[in-house]
Amino acid sequence: MKLSAAQAVDVLRAAGEPTRLRILALLAREELAVLELCRVLDQSQPRVSRHLKLLAEAGLVERFPDGAWVFYRLVQEGYAGELAAEILRRVDLADAALMRDAERLIAVQAERAADAGEYFARNAARWDEIRSLYVAEADVESAILKAAGQGPFRRLVDLGTGAGRMLTLLGPRADQALGLDLSQQMLNIARAQVAQAGLERCELRHGDIFGTRLPDESADLVVVHQVLHYLGDPAAAVKEAARITAPGGRLLIVDFAPHNLEFLREQHQHRRLGFSDAEIKRWLADGGLNRMAAETLPPARTQGLTVKIWTAERARQPQRTAA
């Protein structure tokens, strides 16, 4: 359904204000919390919130609460989203105000990354202990093995490998395995764990989940285990994981269902407090994957975390018959 003339005017009016255009340009980079937008724009929360309200009413941005925080992201679908994308394509990114915003956003991202890096370095030696505080790890790992399938896998890639537990768990089913992580402390622990497990065809590499530099469709099992809730742009990470998933291959995501344990954000650098099935399904579909399945593992304690295991596959290419 196309926009009516009145709706088109509303969209253009919403986008056609300097601060709101700056907000759209920022959200084109990644989803952001209200307070982060306030810092970048150097404006008060009431003022920024009003701009966001107008953009949301015009269908240009999507608002979603996450615990005590509220995040916003660009609407990707529909004619309003297409119109916003076209406006941003025609805006000169060398504009002084937009460049200043981009620099401030980089500073916010760098601060966020530094905080996370310090946290991982401080807790690397007892990472598995922290991760198992709320969930029965044995039950989760049993479900992961079932969701992954028997294999054998030609190539396993574990994105954000951490202490390497997914490599030692699934590596015996793979001809080759690769673990990527940005934390050298985590990689050192993973190397020790992999060596102790006797996995000879397993490589640990310093790498970015947003830009793995791996070939398209090169792994028949890709794992993203307890990583997305730390990221500023989880949708982009899922898209990259889907990109390297081979035809007939499987992407397996393990994370938390939505929750309200705000202290995990404050004490353990969780940026997002869980994900919904609909959100993950949309990201997987955007990455060209289908046949999504989800398994729910409820917590052992009342105030615990519910673990979700999402799997999706890339369809095999139809075989061409000889002429």
Task: Report pTM.
Answer: 0.77
The per-residue DSSP string of 100-164 comes to: HHHHHHHHHHHHHHHHHHHHHHHHGGGHHHHHTSSS-HHHHHHHHHHHH-S--EEEEEEET-TTS
Q: What are the structure tokens assigned to 31, written together?
A: 């989803």
How does strand 69-74 pair with strand 153-159? unpaired
pLDDT digits (tens, 9 = 90+) for 59-87: 899 888 877 888 898 887 777 878 888 88
Domains assigned to the chain: 5-91 (1.10.10.10), 127-313 (3.40.50.150)
pLDDT in tens, 141-190: 999 999 999 889 999 999 999 889 999 999 999 999 999 998 877 888 88
Strands 307-313 and 290-297: antiparallel
Return the SS3 of 247.
strand
